Amino acid sequence: MFRRIRRRLLSPEEKERRRFYLLPGMGGRAFHRKQRRIRMAAILVGLVVSALVALIIYLMNTRPL
């Protein structure tokens, strides 16, 4: 209900500024699949990097000087 009132109060310039267009792959199922793939890749990279840092710290602490 409030959205309708708010839309009426917008000037034509404001309406034009708020307009945008979606190209293929920018919304819907394809977009969500793409975002899910990016999220999983980021998690995997984070796990690999943290494992490497942990290994380096472990090796630095176990080797005698």
What DSSP assignment string belongs to 19-57?
A: ---PPTTSSHHHHHHHHHHHHHHHHHHHHHHHHHHHHHH
Average pLDDT of the chain, as a whole number: 82
User: Please, which pLDDT band fits residue 21 given cuts at 50, 70 and 90?
Assistant: confident
Residue of 30 and 60 predicted with greater confidence: 60
Tell me what the mean pLDDT of segment 47-51 comes to: 98
Element (H, E) at 61: helix 28-62
Q: Yes or no: say if 10 and 18 are a contact pair by the CB < 8 Å rule.
A: yes
Residue whose entry in the numeric block shows the structure tokens 């500024």? 17
Tell me what the mean pLDDT of segment 19-26 comes to: 71
Residue of 14 and 53 predicted with greater confidence: 53
* 31 conformational bin, left if phi > 0, alpha if psi -120 to 50, beta if neither: alpha
Domain extent listing, the chain: 23-65
How confident is the model at residue 2, as a pLDDT? 55
How confident is the model at residue 13, as a pLDDT? 73
